[in-house]
Amino acid sequence: MTSPLAELNYDGLSYDLVRYRDDELDATISAILADASSNDVVSFRHSLDEGDIQLLTTFAHRRIVSALRTSSHAALTEAYDAYALLPTLSEAEFSAWFKGGLVVARACAVDIGTLRERFLAVAPTQTAAIADVLFRSSERLESFAQCYLVETSTTHGKGLLNTVVARDESQAGREVGAFTGIAPDLIPFRSGYDTAGRIAAIAAALADDFHAMDDHVTDPIRHDQLVASSFDIVTGGSFLRTRACVGFFVSGPEGLDFSVVVADIDAEVTGHSAPALAEFADELVDQAAVAHDTVVVLLTKVPNFDHLFGDDVPEPNEEEDEVNDDPVGHYLDRVSAVLAANA
């Protein structure tokens, strides 16, 4: 059976739930779900492939954010209708967005009892059992922090940033310069994102600025980490601990693709201030960085491996000294201006 969702896809920026934009596809999917819920639910569910499941999950996320922005009961109902029609929900989905939707429901004065009954009538048995526990305990959900979500506010309005990431780091104060040769201790940790809303807003301003440039396209803002090797610093793991860190990618002209990472630095934890980290990073090839107060922005060129597959063969007379060792440095003035206006 062919899924009625076949051939439907969101465009790239519709996945961005910090810089949320309306998308006509939401209404199309909503109509399909309404029809499926009132007809053969089992056949519809069996018709879904992995792409359809991802599409419906994204739809649910978007409707939750829409409800946050507009207090729409209908949008929230559509989000949980989508969840109910899925074959299964992951633990991560339950822990973050499903619970986050219940936080929105309480804020919007949605009747959670009615939402629960509607969901349980359609959802698969295993999904319903887990969801029932969450619905019944929804009064314990007081903030998005309990759902690994951060509420953001940008020129696009309210949004949500998922902060479920586990990384490694050294003990506080153990980050040291590479020249010492000290072997640091390793301990597991889950990122603390105390200022993620503010950092996400700065990242949104930067992403909008890049996107407004000719031949530049940005992708969705995501939760991120500072890679320690970007600063030539020995740490107790692969990443530097930050108060908050988000990032996005930019597709630029003539095949220039680069990442933009925005982080809020606590010098007492990293052992280095934001300006010092920016200086370290700026010295490395294919990188550029700038800092403002405690915020550091790192631009890193994404390697192009097309030549390995014969898609990008250099001209015979191309000389090595024509290679640009600082391909993203010319963006720093723009980045600095955005930081000065928003940081």
In tens, the pLDDT along 282-314 reads 999 999 999 999 999 999 999 876 544 555 555
pLDDT at 190: 42
Measured from the Cβ of residue 242, the count of other Cβ atoms closer than 10 Å reads: 31
pLDDT tens digits along 127-176? 999 999 999 999 999 999 899 999 999 999 999 999 865 554 444 444 44
CA 295/CA 244 separation, integer angstroms: 9
CB 220 within 8 A of CB 17: yes
CB 185 within 8 A of CB 237: no
CA 93 and chain centroid, separation:
14
CA 259/CA 230 separation, integer angstroms: 12
What distances in angstroms separate CA 71 from CA 76, 146, 296, 338, one per listed residue? 9, 20, 35, 31
**Mean pLDDT confidence for 270-276:** 93
CB 169 within 8 A of CB 234: no
CB 221 within 8 A of CB 248: yes
> In this structure, what are the phi and psi dihedrals at residue 221, rounded to the nearest 5 degrees?
-75, 135
CA 66/CA 72 separation, integer angstroms: 7
What distances in angstroms separate CA 51 from CA 9, 69, 126, 172, 315, one per listed residue? 9, 27, 22, 42, 40
pLDDT at 185: 36
- Based on the number of CB atoms within 10 Å of its own CB, is 265 exposed (0-12), middle (13-18) or buried (19 or more)? buried
CB 260 within 8 A of CB 221: no
pLDDT at 1: 72
**Mean pLDDT confidence for 65-78:** 97
pLDDT at 306: 59
Residue 324 clears pLDDT 80, i.e. is over it? no
pLDDT tens digits along 172-208? 444 443 333 333 333 333 444 558 899 999 999 999 9
